[in-house]
Structure 1
Amino acid sequence: MWKTVLALAIGAWVLLDLGAALAAGDAAAGKTKSALCVACHGPDGNSANPEWPKLAGQQAEYIVKQLKDFKSGARQNPLMTGIAAGLSETDMENLAAYFSSQKVKVVGVTDAELAKRGERLYRGGSRKMQVSACMACHGPAGQGVPPRFPSVSGQHATYSEIQLQAFKEGKRRNEIMHAITVRMSNDEIKAVAVYMSGLEPAP
């Protein structure tokens, strides 16, 4: 199983999602449309609430995919489903272009020792636990691979922890992420989340 999970992770760099539309939106139009979004995600894409994701600097393709998933019900969130229901594909691409053009604010880690533990898992994984390195899909600087593998650099640790737990418990569907997180303890998940919050995005 370890080889299967590792192969899936390494293969993520070369996967082509032929069904995903490339986001080529209008950032100015996205800014105009973002009035409702900024109430939670912040006017600069950096949310004040650590339970809500920062969208600043996130890959446009990934944002579009998540909005489509909220709209279709593939990803469950009552608030976001309601918001996405009123968005056209063009709206989604414009919003994605706007938020992806912003700069994520990296505030640094809250627990240096916990971050060191998270760094070991993020960069090296664990053969004993059959957990592949996070950077195999998300990159050494947390930049990710659009549209499937998001940027995680500078993301709120609390939000990342909530999402990793959701993958682990099957509340958020993703076969690769479930296979990895189900082998991690809650403390290990927290450690990785804390480490990612301090990652500076690649220039």
Structure 2
Amino acid sequence: MSFRLAGTRPAVVNAVALVLALSAGVVLAQNTKAPAAPKAAAPASASTAANPAVASSSAPAAGAPAAAAADDHVMAATKPGDATAGQAKAAACGACHGMDGNSSDAQYPKLAGQHEMYIAHQLHNFKSGARQNPVMLGMATPLADQDMRDIGAYFASKRSLPGVADQALVDRGQKLYRQGDPERGIPACMACHAIDGRGNPGAMYPQLTSQHAQYVEAKLKDFHDGVSWGSEPHAQIMPTIAKKLDQQDIAALASYIEGLHVADNNASVSASP
């Protein structure tokens, strides 16, 4: 693992993303096996009232959109992604994210090297409305679940190009990323996203390595202000943490994450500009 420092680059203030993470899914209603509804509304039994999860497992919450189906169930019905098929399906993504997943515009996240299921999951979130973005809603709506996995497999097969970090922000960003701040109840980022920023594909914690600081900062600010990408517990992780970060913390973390990358096997690890 190594860092790239921008010796003279000012601190990035407007955006950088840490996203990338998180999943949003709820249990899919199984109407075909639901018991017949009583003719008259009956009060909830004591056991049901004491365990609301039981009721929610058989029917969606009142007012919940039908599209908020469980991602785990939807994706479980698909085959592993095919990167070759995904290349053609991802062609439209290249306008913003780069044909190889390395976006040249820092407002759009790098997708190169991101985990297949994380990308598929987020595409499903955009399509269902669990994650709000008008542009991505239009892009994701026509996609079938297998398309999402194929696109995820294609970008997962690419390598994220290294970014650079502002040297003035590295110390603060590194401390928060590696150690957190126990006094303020802030956990270390690497606990979920790994010391090198590669994330955890099994838990669907996204890769952060070399992500644009501008994008990371923008997403951390959103989380800080209470934006979440779903209603299930997993989607509440980042809003809960980010609300404890101040603007200086966010800028430092975002810059540090952009400079975080895994060194080439044949390259020496260096922290020089």
Paired residue for 1:135, among 190, 205, 210?
A: 190
Paired residue for 1:185, among 228, 236, 246?
A: 246
The answer (yes or no) to whether the contact 2:71–2:121 under 8 Å persists in 1 is no
The answer (yes or no) to whether the contact 2:225–2:243 under 8 Å persists in 1 is yes
Q: Paired residue for 1:87?
A: 143
Structure with the larger helix share:
1
Q: Paired residue for 1:194?
A: 255
Q: Which amino acid aligns with 1:60?
A: E
The answer (yes or no) to whether the contact 1:143–1:152 under 8 Å persists in 2 is yes
Q: Does 1:158 align with 2:214?
A: yes
Q: Paired residue for 2:102?
A: 46
Pair 201,63 (structure 1): closer, same or farther in 2 beyond 3 Å: farther
Give secondary structure in 2 for the equivalent of 1:128: helix
The 5-angstrom pairing of residues 13-52 of structure 1 reads 19=72, 21=75, 24-52=80-108
Q: Paired residue for 1:4?
A: none
Which whole-Å CA distance do the structure 2 matches of 1:155 and 1:58 have between them?
10
- TM-score, normalised on structure 1? 0.86
Answer with 1 or 2: which has the greater Rg: 2
What do residues 8-53 of structure 1 show as CA deviations (whole Å, max 9, x unaligned)?
Answer: xxxxxxxxx9926367111111111112100000011100110100
The answer (yes or no) to whether the contact 1:154–1:201 under 8 Å persists in 2 is no
- The answer for unaligned runs of 5 or more in structure 2 is 1-69, 230-234, 266-273
In the alignment of these two chains, the number of paired residues is: 186
Q: Does 1:119 align with 2:180?
A: no
State the percentage of identical aligned residues.
Answer: 44
- TM-score, normalised on structure 2? 0.65
Which whole-Å CA distance do the structure 2 matches of 1:117 and 1:34 have between them?
37
Give secondary structure in 1 for the equivalent of 2:196: coil
Which whole-Å CA distance do the structure 2 matches of 1:201 and 1:121 have between them?
19
Give secondary structure in 1 for the equivalent of 2:91: coil
Which whole-Å CA distance do the structure 2 matches of 1:98 and 1:201 have between them?
20
Q: Paired residue for 1:70?
A: 126
Q: CA RMSD in A?
A: 1.8
